[in-house]
Structure 1
Amino acid sequence: MAQQFEYETRLTQPRDEVFAWHQRPGALTRLTPPFGGGPDKVTEAPTDGIEPGSRVKLGVSVPGTFGTVHVPWTARHGDWDPPHYFTDRMERGPLGEWEHRHNFEETSSGGTLVRDQVTVRALPTSLDKASGPSDKLMRGQLERIFAYRERQLRGDLDFHDEHRGPRLRIAVGGASGLIGSQVCALLETGGHEVVQLKRGGSTGPGVIGWDPTKGRLNPRDLAGIDVVLHLGGSSIATRFTDKNKAEILRSRVDSTKLLVRAIGQVPADQRPRALVVGSAVGYHGTDRGDEILAEEQPPGEGFLAHVCDEWEKAAHGAEVFGVRVVNVRTGLVLTPSGGLLRPQLPLMTAGLSGPLGGGKQWQSWIGIDDMAGAVAHLVLSEDASGPYHLAAPNPVRQKDFARIVAGVLHRPAMVPTPLAGPRALLGKEATEELVAASHRVDVSKLLGAGYSFRHADLRACAEHILGRVG
């Protein structure tokens, strides 16, 4: 039996603006929750936005796989009447029926009431003895999903209100990555044009083809680009063999030097005004104890510190061309979709998590939405330059991190985890630099640049990304 579900979101922004946000590329990525219970992965972008006939492909996590296995979901957009409503219907997927009508109504104060109306029916199973429990479970999942969407929409619209200005053309390396995909989506929903730097691809609409391994990038493709954002590089989650270390360093430094050379060959009146390049708090070395680390301190010791230092030096080569350069030193990014949190979730859910390697090390964490927001803020802020720590203002020790996040899942975190397991997978050096590293960074510079955090508190961040608010 189909259920009728309705959810209301009240916003201060005018209806035309809210509807326009939903029309832009990136809106679906920003609204898709990462915690399961519904579509939690955009596998293929809409063919034509939210216009009638546009199709989009999504993925729904299989329960118990923690996002590693997805069931396909294909949705097709139907009737619309801008800026009053648009609709979508599931054509193929794990439900018996799904039809969603998005209504946008003007409020007396000049804001917007978004009224989501969903007709949903689960597929029958042999376990369904009565409709009550199944209906209750479905309604609970929908409440979590739409509450998350409300927080995302409200936060993104507020971000764009704070960053009103000219619409920019932004070339992005690493656009499909964990961080890059969210940064691009946030920028796109603000009306900016994102052009992907695609390795091995051909230059065309929305794409600049390049090949860092062969030093190929046509400077003409960067003409008219306002900002270049480079977040790419081979994964560091691997054994630190000589071969892997060489690739980790080369993939970052060589690609950045290629961008700098190309920028320098663009005529001055068409040249990008800024180059924003990735880095990490690993710049400070493996273990600095309880020391509070500021951006101006010299690099620490260790392989990753060397990589970050060389990466940042390569980026600053663009300054001779009058280009603003920013190094984003990322902390530990929190999302169920990847990074630090994803491999820990199975143990946390089972109540088997706890202090890792003693749990005394400091973790400078940041939620994925603040990561995207802080990067976008530095891209759009013409006064920002040099290195910035991108981490929440309140770092915590690892044992407290485990306790707080497990607590959001209503699980204990009492099981000590020795470093023997990570060492068996990653080796001694990578374990020390990736798993056991301790960084307690200061983010005063980022706050001084005007960035406002959505989630400065770890518990609030975990509740949001895990869909456990309230």
Structure 2
Amino acid sequence: MTHHFTHETRVPQPREKVFAWHERPGALTRLTPPFGGGPDQVRQAPSDGIKPGSEARLGVSVPGTFGTVHLPWTAEHGEWEPPHFFTDRMVNGPLGEWEHRHVFEESPRGGTVVRDEVTVRPLPQWAGKLNDLGERAMTPQLERIFAYRDRQLREDLAFHDQHDGPRLTIAVAGSSGLVGTQVCALLETGGHTVLRMKRGATTGEGVIGWDPARGLLNPRDLEGVDVVIHLGGQSIVSRFTEQKKREILDSRVDSTALIVRAMGQLPAEKRPRAFVVSSAVGYYGTGRGDEVLTEDSSSGEGFLAEVCREWESAAHGAAAHGVRVVNVRTGLVLSPSGGLLRAQLPLMEAGLSGPLGGGRQWQSWIGLDDMASAIAHLALTEDAEGPFNVAAPNPQRQKDFAKTVAGVLHRPAVVPTPLAGPKALLGAQATEELVAASHRVDVSKLLGTGYRFRHEDLRSCAGHLLGRTG
């Protein structure tokens, strides 16, 4: 027996604009919930948009594995009639049957009604009445998924309305990372052309090949690019051995300097106009306690502060070539697909989270969607320049952070964890700078550019990312 599920989303934008958003590269990535698994859920973007015959490949997380075990899912697009509807169906995957019809109707009150009509059979036909049990188990999950998609579509369309300027060509280094993937998808759904800078790849359609380790980047590959966004670098979650520290520093500084040199070798009229480069709130060092940190605050002590100073200095070399430079001092990026939150979720689900090292250190957090949106906003805002603290306006002490997120999961957060555990894994220096550091940053400068946060408070952010808004 098959079952039917329907969800309606109402948006103020006209039908043609909403349908066009769904046709663009990046739409599937923007609509795929992070609580479904790891960062590689969309393993292959649709091969030909949403036209008939186009295929996409995904990885669907097995419940209870926290995104570590995935089942393959191949979707094929079928009927397609712009701007009225399109369909896709599962041709390979864990369910007995799945067909999704996306219907776009003009609302009598203005705007568009997007109606998602899903026909699903959880198990093979021979399973009979077991499908009824599967449907009852699946319905709450479908409600979570489509509530997430509802919010994503409304917020993304509002973002593009705010940035309804010329369509740009934007090169992105670090495009396959947790943040870079979403930055690219968000920009693409806004109609911008995104070129992904890939190490060791051959330059071709949609790709700029480069090799930072060998100092290889053809300046001509940046001709016609309006903005370069650089989000790459070695992971900092490790023991800070001397070799690892050199790798972390060099991967950021050398690659940034290489892009700057390539820009400088181009004629002024063919040079990118802006360079947006990652940094981090680690710029402010350790031991800042309750101090409110603005972009004018001094840099602090420690290895990560040194990395951020040299990283930002390398990026500012582009200013000598007349390029607008933005340094994005990122807070702790939250997503169940990666980073801090993903690492903590198993303990939170088990009710074993709580104060870490006393829990009084400030955590300047930001949801993944706001992180991607803020980077795109700074890239598209022509008068944004210099360093920006990019975090939610309401930092939390670590013990309150743990209590709030665990509360969204309906779990307690009262188990204290001494720093001895992280020190055993990461060593003393990395623990001090990654786990015990206190950063209470002010984001007035970002707000002053007109950026509109999707989630200013932690509870609503965690509820959205975890699909637990009820």
TM-score, normalization: structure 2?
0.98
For residues 358-395 of structure 1, give each alpha carbon's deviation from its aligned partner in whole angstroms, at most 9, with x where no partner exists. 10000000000000110000000000000000000000
Q: Which runs of 5+ in 2 are unaligned?
A: none
For residues 218-253 of structure 1, give each alpha carbon's deviation from its aligned partner in whole angstroms, at most 9, with x where no partner exists. 111101100000000011011100010000000000
SS of alignment partner, residue 245 of structure 1: helix
Match of 2:204 in 1: 204
Once residues 178 and 145 of structure 1 are traced to their aligned partners in structure 2, the CA distance between those partners, rounded to angstroms, is 20
For residues 429-466 of structure 1, give each alpha carbon's deviation from its aligned partner in whole angstroms, at most 9, with x where no partner exists. 11111111110000000000110000000000000000
Contact 1:363 1:398 in 2 (8 A): yes
Once residues 341 and 357 of structure 2 are traced to their aligned partners in structure 1, the CA distance between those partners, rounded to angstroms, is 16
Match of 1:148 in 2: 148
Match of 2:35 in 1: 35
Contact 2:95 2:124 in 1 (8 A): no
The change in CA–CA distance for 1:38 and 1:90 in structure 2 (over 3 A counts) is farther
Contact 1:365 1:392 in 2 (8 A): yes
Q: Number of matched residues?
A: 470
The change in CA–CA distance for 1:218 and 1:399 in structure 2 (over 3 A counts) is same
- Please, which moves more after superposition, 419-428 or 396-405? 419-428
Once residues 11 and 40 of structure 1 are traced to their aligned partners in structure 2, the CA distance between those partners, rounded to angstroms, is 29
The two structures, once aligned, show a CA RMSD in angstroms of: 1.6
Contact 2:39 2:338 in 1 (8 A): no
Once residues 73 and 45 of structure 1 are traced to their aligned partners in structure 2, the CA distance between those partners, rounded to angstroms, is 12
SS of alignment partner, residue 49 of structure 1: strand
Contact 1:32 1:40 in 2 (8 A): no
Once residues 39 and 390 of structure 1 are traced to their aligned partners in structure 2, the CA distance between those partners, rounded to angstroms, is 21
Once residues 337 and 175 of structure 2 are traced to their aligned partners in structure 1, the CA distance between those partners, rounded to angstroms, is 16
Offset at residue 254 of structure 1 (A): 0.3
Offset at residue 62 of structure 1 (A): 1.3
Offset at residue 105 of structure 1 (A): 0.5
- Which structure 2 residues correspond to residues 275-294 of structure 1 after superposition, within 5 A? 275-294=275-294
- Which structure 2 residues correspond to residues 85-234 of structure 1 after superposition, within 5 A? 85-123=85-123, 132-234=132-234
TM-score, normalization: structure 1?
0.98
Match of 2:350 in 1: 350
Match of 2:56 in 1: 56
Match of 1:410 in 2: 410
Contact 1:34 1:40 in 2 (8 A): no
For residues 329-381 of structure 1, give each alpha carbon's deviation from its aligned partner in whole angstroms, at most 9, with x where no partner exists. 00000000001100100010011111111100000000000001100000000
Offset at residue 127 of structure 1 (A): 11
The amino acid that maps onto 2:389 is H
The amino acid that maps onto 1:301 is E
- Which structure 2 residues correspond to residues 431-470 of structure 1 after superposition, within 5 A? 431-470=431-470
Identity between Structure 1 and Structure 2 (%): 73
Offset at residue 412 of structure 1 (A): 0.3
Match of 1:15 in 2: 15
The amino acid that maps onto 1:171 is A
The amino acid that maps onto 2:158 is D
SS of alignment partner, residue 90 of structure 1: strand
Once residues 177 and 73 of structure 2 are traced to their aligned partners in structure 1, the CA distance between those partners, rounded to angstroms, is 22
Once residues 124 and 361 of structure 1 are traced to their aligned partners in structure 2, the CA distance between those partners, rounded to angstroms, is 52
Once residues 338 and 123 of structure 1 are traced to their aligned partners in structure 2, the CA distance between those partners, rounded to angstroms, is 30
The change in CA–CA distance for 1:38 and 1:94 in structure 2 (over 3 A counts) is farther
The change in CA–CA distance for 1:340 and 1:178 in structure 2 (over 3 A counts) is same
Offset at residue 110 of structure 1 (A): 3.1
Offset at residue 277 of structure 1 (A): 0.4
The amino acid that maps onto 2:85 is Y
Offset at residue 128 of structure 1 (A): 9.0
- Which structure 2 residues correspond to residues 377-416 of structure 1 after superposition, within 5 A? 377-416=377-416
The amino acid that maps onto 2:300 is G
Contact 1:364 1:441 in 2 (8 A): yes
Offset at residue 41 of structure 1 (A): 1.2
Contact 2:78 2:88 in 1 (8 A): yes
Offset at residue 108 of structure 1 (A): 1.7
For residues 21-68 of structure 1, give each alpha carbon's deviation from its aligned partner in whole angstroms, at most 9, with x where no partner exists. 000000000000011299981011111111100110001111221011
Offset at residue 124 of structure 1 (A): 5.7
1:310 aligns with 2:299: no
For residues 294-335 of structure 1, give each alpha carbon's deviation from its aligned partner in whole angstroms, at most 9, with x where no partner exists. 101221000000000000000000111110000000000000
The change in CA–CA distance for 1:52 and 1:132 in structure 2 (over 3 A counts) is closer
SS of alignment partner, residue 71 of structure 2: strand
Q: Which runs of 5+ in 1 are unaligned?
A: none
Once residues 63 and 129 of structure 1 are traced to their aligned partners in structure 2, the CA distance between those partners, rounded to angstroms, is 22
The change in CA–CA distance for 1:398 and 1:136 in structure 2 (over 3 A counts) is same
Contact 2:102 2:116 in 1 (8 A): yes
Match of 2:236 in 1: 236
Match of 2:301 in 1: 301
Offset at residue 96 of structure 1 (A): 0.5
Once residues 9 and 188 of structure 2 are traced to their aligned partners in structure 1, the CA distance between those partners, rounded to angstroms, is 22
